[in-house]
Amino acid sequence: QPLIMVAIGFDRYFCICHPFLHAVTVPRAKWCVGILTVIAALIGIVPMLSHGVYHPVVRQVNVTLSSPPAQVRASTTPFSDGLFVQPLPVYNVDPGESINYKTGSLDALAPTPVTPMDEVKLDVDVGQWVVPMNVTEVDYFGICIYTYFLLSEQFVDMYLKVYASLFLVEFIVLALLYALIYRSILARRAWKNKRKRTSCYTSTNCPETVAEETQLTHLNGTATETVLLKAHTEKMSTAMMDRALYANIKTAAMLFVVTVVFVISFLPSWLMGLKLLPFSYIAFYMFYINNVVNPIIYAFMNRTFRDDLVQLLRSCVRRY
């Protein structure tokens, strides 16, 4: 949703601040929608792959072998055979090897990888090699939380940082766009007021225009219709431009309200994700309020929708 609001913000900016630039065309809009769809899909795939109900659990087990592993090294740890003190053979498991539970021996292609935890020691009493190891098993946890089967923990942490920074960047871009739109509206309003004061600006509220048209009627004779038609066309064109600008301003105001509501609803969960606020279920899931409020904003800031709703209610009252 922030990506869509940024795209709409750019659209309103070009329509209000640069209406004759024609920067937003139908082909360009289609390309922007396609690119935003791909970006949103890529952003959404990462949380989907990094969550699950099955989680790895590391347990320590002792594996006994009848023969020593292939790679060994001697240790100076002594043990006594009753008469002499001799060094105890101690063996390290190669980091790339693991236990094959079918054969009971070390196998680099074992289906269940294990991590060597300590040195392999000889049990003098039973004459077997004891290998303390960490075994990673998969348990059904029952709660969907972060898991790192498909994506590494480092990748997920980097994704969370990028995702959190995107919210800040989008908020700054939207604030700049709406600030530029507001400045353009104020500048245009000041320019129109100045022009009305200094000259006869074509407007239905300007009495000098009517006087000029009357004077041209008496002086120019047959050319009056052409002059009046030209003035009327310019007046209609100006009125249409004013109505289009007013409609764009209303749309920008509505989208500004939508943006403010989104920022307010999403800000608590964003701060909790950055661990700047203590976690709270109610505040964290408050961003769903944005989806509830948006239809109300779109509806009651749209005059056509309000009129249709009033007519519908009146017809229902008359029927019953």
Enter the tokens of residue 187.
């500048």
Query: What is the distance between the alpha carbons of residues 199 and 190, in angstroms, rounded to a whole number?
Result: 14
pLDDT at 27 over 80: yes
Q: Tell me the C-alpha to C-alpha distance, in Å, between residue 268 and each of 158, 273, 274, 317.
A: 21, 9, 10, 43
The confidence score (pLDDT) of residue 138 equals 73
- Which residue did the predictor score with more confidence, 57 or 99? 57
- pLDDT per residue over 164-186, tens digit each? 888 888 888 888 888 888 888 88
Residues 6+ apart with CB under 8 A from 285: 269
Domain limits, the chain: 1-50+148-199, 53-143
- Write b or e for each residue in 132-151: b if 16 or more Cβ atoms lie within 10 A of its Cβ, otherwise e: ebebeeeeeeeeeeebeeeb
Residues 6+ apart with CB under 8 A from 7: 32, 33, 36
**Contact yes or no for 52/144 (Cβ under 8 A):** yes
pLDDT at 215 over 50: no
At position 74, the amino acid (one-letter code) is A
Enter the tokens of residue 252.
């920008």
Angle, vertex CA 157, rays to CA 284 and CA 113, nearest 5: 120
**Contact yes or no for 248/15 (Cβ under 8 A):** yes
**Contact yes or no for 51/145 (Cβ under 8 A):** yes
The confidence score (pLDDT) of residue 152 equals 82
